[in-house]
Homo-oligomer: A and B are copies of this chain.
Amino acid sequence: MTKFFEVKHQSKKSGARLGVIHTDHGDIQTPEFMPVGTQATVKTLDPRDLNEAGAQIILGNAYHLHLRPGENLIKKMGGLAKFMNWHKPTLTDSGGFQVFSLDKEFEVRGVKDSQNLRGKSLVKISENGVAFRSYLDGSWHLFTPESAIQIQHKIGADIIMAFDQCTKDDAPLQESIEAMERTHRWAKQCVEYHQKQKPLHKYQQRLFGIIQGGQFKDLRIKSAKFITSLPFDGIAIGGESIGYNMEITEKIMTWLKPLLPEDKPRYTMGVGFSPFDLFAVVEMGIDMFDCVAPTRLARNGALYISPKAGGNIKNKYRININNAEFIEDKGPIDPWCDCKTCKGFDGKNFFSRSYLHHLLKTNEIEGLRLASIHNVRFMLKVMEEIRAAIAKDKFEKLKKDWIK
């Protein structure tokens, strides 16, 4: 039997490392950024777009997929990869984060009786699990550690996540303790349930645990020790702070670095808002990370640029293509980027900033897609360069070239 994860090369000067994750849907060269396809599709992109962007693994979300189309349908259709016509590795988040951010969703999207619901708690967390109302129709649903795993078994991603209680970025001590302890008890239940179930698919599903503990050093250390003591296939670091607050993220990583096992993939959940964030976590020995930012930013017209296109300052890593300065700009988004938008589908005729400006201004769907193609490929190309640099022990030099 093939090993699930192998470290191929360990950087001498930092935590950066090269590895391979083996799944029955193919290998994943790490470290790698994972594009997010919440509802079984990376917004605006098709499987060929993702292949051309160099994506190795796509994320789905158990919470959203449970609501629509439902885990039973996806199982009937042969599992997530087959259902979405993406025949490579997939990973599902357990829904812990969505349950945490649900109140916000209610406000943003609204449901029929949202006026009456406002101010009332829509999520009830108990030791048993989380009861929550669907943001679509207000119906009640219950996620328990067992049901979250069962749902993910049915959805059938290669990698599934334990059900956790996500801690807010600014959560106080007591709240962080309670969430962490609950996360630990649930983690054990998830492992037990996962181990005793018969496989639902012909391919193997791997379970990752999630470290919580908020912004508190002793909690994070305690959580790391507990989660790594369980027989998980990989170790994730969770909590709203991760990725959202990079200063804290880096601090947390400093605490956790010595405690994370060498032989398991490490995953920071929610990292990848900017290209610079990728360097920060790779340096700390992280192998996997995901973020909705590249596609969400793209749909708002925020396009990543490399140092070659003037993106060398930490707070100027993207342009807003909606700005008037791009109306007559005949150039590509970024001469460094080799995405289909910057090089053209035929490799000869790129899409101009002027045309992209026009598409975004006129709300043309094609603009959202061309922008998403760019941002996703941009991040994955950064990852390719990072992996090549680690292999040559030049990661630190590459990081300097990017973060001047």
Contacts and interface: CB of A to CB of B under 8 A. Distances in A.
Nearest to A344: B85
Contact of A330 (B45, B77, B346, B350): B77
A40 B365 contact: no
Interface string A22-49: 0000000000000000011111111110
B369 A40 contact: no
A94 to B, nearest CB: 20
A361 interface: yes
A157 to B, nearest CB: 16
A42 B366 CA distance: 8
A351 interface: yes
Nearest to A346: B48
A85 B365 contact: no
A353 to B, nearest CB: 11
A327 to B, nearest CB: 7
A288 B335 CA distance: 40
A365 B46 CA distance: 10
Interface in A141-161: none
A77 B40 contact: no
Contact of A43 (B47, B351, B365): B365
A365 B39 CA distance: 11
Interface stretch (A68-76, A251-259, A276-284): A68-76
A87 interface: yes
A48 B330 CA distance: 20
B369 A68 contact: no
Nearest to A39: B362
Range for the number of chain A residues in contact with chain B: 35 or more
Contacts of A359: 39, 41
A349 B357 CA distance: 34
Contacts of A340: 48
A130 interface: no
A174 to B, nearest CB: 38
Contacts of A87: 349
A83 interface: yes
Given A69-B327, A355-B77, A355-B85, A364 B48 contact: no
A358 B344 CA distance: 30
A210 interface: no
Contacts of A357: 69
6 contacts: A39-B359, A39-B364, A45-B366, A46-B345, A47-B345, A48-B340
Given A41-B364, A85-B355, A369-B369, 14 more contacts: A40-B358, A41-B366, A45-B366, A46-B369, A48-B340, A69-B327, A76-B328, A77-B355, A83-B352, A83-B354, A83-B355, A85-B349, A85-B350, A365-B369
